[in-house]
Structure 1
Amino acid sequence: MKIGIIQPYVTPGDFPRNVRAIIEAYRACLDDGADLVAAPAMSLSGPEPEGLLHRSAYAREHEDALRYMALEMGKVPLIMGSVEGLDGAGHPSRRFYVLTQDSVSKLDEFPGVIDVNNIGVCLVNGRESLEEISSRVHAELILYFPEAPWSMEQTVNMVEAARRTATGFHLPVGVIRHAGGRGETVDAGSSFLIDGDGRVCGVLAPFLPDERVVNTIKPGKHSFPGAGTALNLAIKAGIRDFISKGGYAGAVLMHADTPEFRLLESLVTEAQGESPCIWESAPDLENPLNRAETANLLLLSPCHKNALFHGARPEAHYLPFGDLFGSDLKGGRPGHFRRGSEDDILHSLVDLHRSGTDLITEGYSEIDVRSCQRAVERSAWSRRQSPPLLHLYGMPVPCPLLHRFSD
């Protein structure tokens, strides 16, 4: 059985663009011999279209897009999800659809097992866990449609849950995800399929649009991106998406002679394919924010959060890159910059909780070690005098990319 997996890059409410992206990927899967094609849970509507559902024309445009897609379908069925409008209680009405040549079958949000082209398929909505479906699995394939934004912990847990489900039922499990940005969050991509023995048969590109036909009985050598690589990709995808969907002409960076700035400049250049505009840093952040809005540019700052809290408007769009660098990115590009002895000492004292005596024994200068210890103690005393602030360290949040602060 060959399963075509579509991982489109879609925009909420932009039906012409979304239809084109899905159909092009669908045809590519047909050319590779797919028996069945699956797209994510909100392919046609785009993820989180809640703000658009109150438009009077939304439901009609959604229905017209479905009819047009049916005319473009071949004999191989396409399974996808979408938000078709508001229900009687004013909540988003989510559905799955099976599209074949000139035909659209609307399914309930929790359709259970369905017969698609003589293949029993169990559809699992993203708000269920894979372990919760045991009572209704009498199928040949399980397709899981997660909706949560990316986080490394969630990705690791999902792969392990898919393996447990696949080996428990001896069935292939496909995880179908969106790719790219979603406002202030990022969708992971990296859709994948695991065979009934728990072996990975195929993995799609992380954070990028992709499509692939995966044979459920031919496992290959596939790997998922590591934590550092995934975080780099997530930030680039988020910057690129926020610039394009926010209508910005580009990004502007505030200059700083720090490793954070050099790494941020590199990431933004890779994200948009050209070097970003760079402004000299100023003690008052109000002026750069006003200038960025006037020039229709997205302001990205290598500062830490403490610097951004003074004089900056909370609703302004910026990324406090220094916090990500200090917690999650410092190991992502080891060849991008070199750490001095003082950086190594601070890293050992603060992050590794080592004693100054151990560092002196290893050969570090006692003057440098004691100086760093005093600096850490002064910093800790200052923090205790300050009011509590929003902390991004450790990244226990759904996504590593946040463009604005909230209470």
Structure 2
Amino acid sequence: MLKTGLIQPETIPGNFPRNLRTIVELYRSCLDGGAELVLCPPLALSGMHTGELALRGGFRSQHRAALAYLAREITEVPLLLGAADAEGLRFHLLRNGRSFPQEAVIPHSAFCAGSVPVSGVFRNTEEAGFSVLPWASSSPAPCLLLRTPSGAWREGLLEREEQEERRLAQATGLPVFTSRLAGAEGPFLLPGASSAWSGGGSFLGRLRLFERDSAVISPSPPAHQAFSLPAPEEQLRQALRKGMADFILKTGHGCACMNLLESPSSPLLAHLLKEALPSLKITGLIPPLPGIPERNLVRAKALADKLGIYAREWTIPTNTADEGPDEHFTAMWRMRQWAQEEGALPLSALNGTDLMTDSPLLPGALAADFIPLGDLYETELADLFPGHLSPAPEAAIRDSLLASLHRKHESATPLAERLPEREQEIRRLQRKGRASEWMRRKLPPRLLLRSVPGEPETPYVHRLMD
């Protein structure tokens, strides 16, 4: 087996200069490690989720120019990457300043089907040194197999794919590499964690989860590297932190603000923000609205002092009290107005349960530009972050009902038959669910917290949609 370099860039769709610089830096780090071949994830030049950028004039010419420039930076050690063309995603081998397009093309339909393409990398005596062909069990034996999954991160994805990778290595007796991009691209969080397995099914190495990374994979298994992936709970923690940090940094905001009295999840969001971006200037807004106990105001101020957050408190002027349907809406409107004047990013700590059950909270969601906790329920948050949240028993009952009524789109009748003592509450929740389903169709795309009934669920937190 070759000493193979594996690089894992973080990309920004359409930002060719930045993506180029990242690839070259990681490639050179593999050269320093003695790599004989370097594997780069497909679409590392353009970014994966380019959307309408790919339709704009000049995008393809910029892409071709970036590929030619990258080839000039490649030395004797070849770099393999995939770039989009009219037929799909074509592999290119770059070596000694030249680009050698390969026969291996991943059609667009393969991405739509959700399957993981597998290609064979063959060593030869031609100028490129290697060739890449679509692999099948009847194909000649290559020097390694390359898997190129394209899905965004979600719970259980990496565990399932590594099982498939290991089974493929054991079945073929060939080294198997999986190459992925990392980091956040708009509404998607790319998992990274590119990995390699030997022909006997032994674990050879894995790059970092969600982060830019590179490594040179040797034929012998590592002596000290951990074999197993982080636990699902730890992956979710990292996803929350990485998603928040990437979104805020890539949008160019140097400060953010949030309502410290918005929901029970507000302290958690404040802690996560300080962990992910300790240097970010955060303003904690404390609107003393009617009905808020004094002890909650004291707790919010204490939290701000503990975390080093600037606390801003104000009273709604009487001459603006009639500008919204209620004082809560007026407060949210004024907070957003202040955030725009200060150039701060308005954040919300609301989650799916809040918006489904407490309609007065909807103005807060509409006023925010980013809802990191999104579709997480309070009970799930309490399990993931013990000590930050302690939902009451009735909240757990409410959330379990919501999970059945909204996540699974079940009818309320079977639930009411199983829980006759709670039938009235179940019917009420179903009516609220139907109303919120109608209302969410009128919300901006960043607030699409539920899938359309009858379609597969895509929880918000898994995509960390802005």
Q: 1:337 aligns with which of 388, 396, 400?
A: 388
TM superposition shift of 1:166 = 0.9
User: Could you tell me which of 230, 235, 238 is aligned with 2:240?
Assistant: 235
CA offsets, 1:48-84, max 9 Å, x none? 2232223332223222222222222121111112235
Matches within 5 A, 1:23-34: 23-34=24-35
C-alpha deviation, 1:21, in angstroms: 0.5
SS in 1 for 2:68: helix
Equivalent pair of 2:33/2:216 in contact (CA under 8 Å): yes
The residue identity in structure 2 corresponding to 1:8 is: P
- 1:5-404 to structure 2, matched below 5 A, reads 5-83=6-84, 87=86, 93-108=88-103, 110=105, 112-116=119-123, 133-136=136-139, 138-220=141-223, 221-256=226-261, 259-274=264-279, 276-281=282-287, 283-284=328-329, 285-303=332-350, 304-306=354-356, 307=358, 310-311=362-363, 317-319=369-371, 321=373, 323-326=375-378, 328-334=380-386, 336-337=387-388, 339=390, 342-343=392-393, 347=396, 379-388=425-434, 389=436, 396-397=458-459, 400-403=462-465
The one-letter code matched in structure 1 to 2:342 is: A
The Cα shift of 1:313 comes to 7.4
Contact 1:32 1:213 in 2 (8 A): yes
Contact 1:190 / 1:205 at 8 angstroms: preserved in 2?
yes
Please give the alpha-carbon distance, in whole angstroms, between the structure 2 residues aligned to 1:225 and 1:194. 18
38 and 168 in structure 1: CA distance in 2 versus 1, 3 angstrom threshold: same
Contact 2:210 2:242 in 1 (8 A): yes
> Hey, what does 2:443 align to over in structure 1?
none
Deviations 1:167-220 (A, max 9, x none): 110111111111110111100111111112222211111111111111133244
Asked if structure 2 preserves the Cα contact closer than 8 Å seen for 1:151 and 1:398, the reply is: no
Is the Cα contact below 8 Å between 2:120 and 2:144 reproduced in 1? no
Distance 1:392 1:260, change over 3 A: farther
What is the rounded CA distance, in whole Å, between the counterparts of 1:293 and 1:350 in structure 2?
Answer: 34
Conserved? CA contact 2:4–2:218, under 8 Å: yes
Matching residue's letter, 1:96:
F
Contact 2:382–2:390 (CA<8 Å) still a contact in 1? Answer: no
Deviation digits for residues 90-112 of structure 1 (CA, Å, limit 9, x no counterpart): xx853221111111112345275
For the 8 Å contact 2:195–2:205, the answer to whether it is kept is yes
Give the distance between the partners of 1:79 and 1:311, measured in 2 at CA: 49
When the two chains are superposed, the root-mean-square deviation of aligned CA atoms in Å is: 3.4
Structure 1 pair 72–117 and aligned structure 2 pair: CA distance change class (3 A): farther
Q: Which runs of 5+ in 2 are unaligned?
A: 107-118, 290-327, 402-418, 438-448
What is the alpha-carbon distance in structure 1 between the residues aligned to residue 160 and residue 17 of structure 2? 35
CA 1:61–1:398: 2 relative to 1, 3 Å: same
- The alpha carbon displacement at 1:262 in A equals 1.7
Alpha-carbon distance in 2 for matches of 1:167, 1:158: 14
The TM-score normalised by the length of structure 1 is: 0.78
Distance 1:133 1:312 in 2: 53
Give 1:237's aligned amino acid: K
> Once the two structures are aligned, what percentage of the paired residues are identical?
27
The number of residue pairs the alignment matches comes to 368
- 1:312 Cα offset (Å): 5.8
Assess if the C-alpha contact under 8 Å between 1:121 and 1:140 holds in 2: no
Give per-residue Cα distances to partners, 1:103-157, cap 9 Å, x unaligned: 1112345275453566877667xxxxxxx94344631211111111111222221
One-letter code aligned to 2:260: H
Amino acid at match of 1:153: G
Please tell me the residue identity of whatever aligns with 2:209.
Answer: P
Partners of 1:2 and 1:35 within 8 A in 2: yes
Equivalent position SS for 1:20: helix
- Alignment partner of 1:321: what SS? coil
SS of the residue 2:274 aligns to: helix
**Is the 2:196–2:203 Cα contact (8 Å) retained in structure 1?**
yes
Residue type at the aligned position of 1:13: G
1:361 paired residue number: none
Distance of 2:343 and 2:103 partners within structure 1: 43
**Contact 1:10-1:46 within 8 A present in 2 as well:** yes
How far does residue 392 in structure 1 lie from its aligned partner after superposition?
5.5
The DSSP-based 3-state class of the residue aligned with 2:363 is coil
Q: Structure 1 regions of 5+ residues with no counterpart? A: 125-131, 353-372
1:19: Cα distance to partner? 0.9
Could you give the per-residue CA deviations for residues 359-400 of structure 1, whole angstroms, max 9, x where no partner exists?
A: xxxxxxxxxxxxxx9997775353133242356699754862
Deviation at 1:310, TM superposition (A): 2.8
C-alpha distance in 1 between matches for 2:30 and 2:99? 19
Distance across 1 between alignment mates of 2:372 and 2:179: 31
Q: Report Cα offsets for 1:216-266 as digits up to 9, x if no partner.
A: 332443331111111111122211222222233333222128652222112
Q: Which residue of 2 aligns with 1:364?
A: none
For the residues of structure 2 that align with 1:109 and 1:330, how far apart are their CA atoms? Answer: 47
Q: Secondary structure at the match of 1:53?
A: helix
Cα distance 1:249–1:271, how it changes in 2: closer, same or farther (>3 A)?
same
